Amino acid sequence: MKLKILDSTYSVVKLPPTETIPLWALNADVFSITRTDEELSIVCPSECLAINEALKDVEKDWKCIRVEGVLDFSLTGILASLANPLAENKISIFAISTFNTDYLLIKAHSIEKAKVVLENEGHIFIDF
């Protein structure tokens, strides 16, 4: 599978479920917003976080790996082929799936190790 490490460093933010989606969360090419009855979760480049915002539930320093190409909904095991070898090497992930593809967030301090692990599994990292 072809993978790409995105340039930005990301943060994962948790807000109360009734919170209005903040405008700073929308200022990026790649971001994800999920609302449940328990929380409003936002994944965005760290540079988007409002400087004066009093955010208390923030996980910083994530790098993002994108699975390149459009994945058919009938495909199975895509995330498992990535997550399992990473878990076996004690690398935690935060996964996001979209209509087209999957994204894996990995702590910045583990990204090089993750790249080696995934390449050893036959995955190819591309740059463009």
pLDDT in tens, 97-111: 999 899 999 999 999
Give the global pTM.
0.89
Residue 27: give the domain boundaries: 2-125
Number of domains in the chain: 1
What's the whole-number average pLDDT of the chain? 91
Average pLDDT estimate for 31-47: 96
Residue 75: pLDDT band (50, 70, 90) is low
Q: Is 80 helix (H, G, I), strand (E, B) or coil?
A: helix
For residue 7, with 0-12 CB atoms within 10 Å meaning exposed, 13-18 middle and 19 or more buried, which class applies?
Answer: exposed
CATH of the domain at 118: 3.30.2130.10
Q: In Å, how far are 76, 99, 101, 113 from 71, measured between CA atoms?
A: 10, 8, 5, 25
**For residue 52, pLDDT beyond 70:** no
What letter would DSSP give residue 17? T
Residue 76: pLDDT band (50, 70, 90) is low
